[in-house]
């Protein structure tokens, strides 16, 4: 029980650190945003303009965010699989790779998820490195569609991690059921 409380405390500190790190490392973007009035098309565009040094800094931050998030997802998945295999080895007193193989099969969604999220996040990374502007009269829907597709990976996280795991899915359904019960009692 003590380990569980300590683990929750550490998790809360890590989450707080990640939120602060994300805000601080992206604050430069909001500082460099400018509104441009397009008189010809009667629109206002939001544009980000960086100095050459700030562009390099922004590129480094984007790559760091991409690599760190992928690494954390992948290594935490591998840690869960390794820990589960070690527990099974202790319970069964068998030091075989068969236990590790079984855990890989049981938790394969944990390894597939970071890879899928990485593939989806690559589109956002690529679109952030492409600079330039387009005229709205030349197919703006393609640009807008590409922009919104790049945000699929953060939104699909729920489906990949919760719905693909029987344990998490059951816990999710139980939580929804408890909330419904609490709301119906009021």
Question: Could you tell me the residue ranges of all domains in the chain?
Answer: 1-31, 33-185
Q: Distance between CA atoms of 22 and 65, rounded to whole angstroms? A: 8
Q: 21 vs 36, 61, 63, 68, 84, CA distance in Å?
A: 30, 11, 14, 12, 31
Which H/E stretch holds residue 33? Answer: strand 33-38
pLDDT digits (tens, 9 = 90+) for 172-182: 899 899 999 98
The pTM of the full predicted model, rounded to 2 decimals, is: 0.60
CB 75 within 8 A of CB 60: no
CB 122 within 8 A of CB 150: no
pLDDT digits (tens, 9 = 90+) for 12-45: 898 899 889 888 988 888 888 888 787 877 777 7
* Residue pointed to by tokens 């929750």: 8
DSSP state of 162: I
pLDDT digits (tens, 9 = 90+) for 54-86: 888 988 988 888 888 888 888 888 888 888 878
Write down how long the chain is: 186
Q: What is the pLDDT of residue 177?
A: 92
């Amino acid at each position: 029980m003590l380990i569980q409380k300590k683990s929750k405390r550490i998790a809360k500190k890590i989450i707080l650190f990640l939120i602060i790190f994300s805000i601080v490392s992206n604050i430069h973007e909001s500082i460099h945003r400018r509104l441009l009035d397009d008189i010809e098309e009667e629109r206002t565009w939001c544009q980000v303009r960086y100095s050459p040094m700030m562009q390099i800094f922004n590129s480094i931050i984007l790559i760091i965010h991409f690599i760190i998030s992928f690494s954390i997802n992948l290594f935490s998945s591998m840690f869960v699989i390794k820990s589960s295999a070690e527990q099974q080895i202790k319970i069964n007193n068998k030091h075989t790779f068969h236990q590790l193989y079984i855990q890989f099969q049981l938790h394969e969604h944990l390894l597939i998820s970071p890879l899928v999220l990485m593939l989806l996040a690559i589109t956002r990374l690529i679109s952030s490195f492409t600079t330039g502007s387009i005229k709205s009269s030349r197919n703006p829907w393609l640009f807008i569609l590409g922009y919104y597709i790049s945000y699929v990976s953060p939104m699909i996280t729920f489906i990949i991690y919760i719905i693909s795991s029987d344990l998490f899915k059951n816990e999710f359904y139980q939580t929804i059921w408890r909330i419904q019960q609490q709301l119906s009692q009021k």
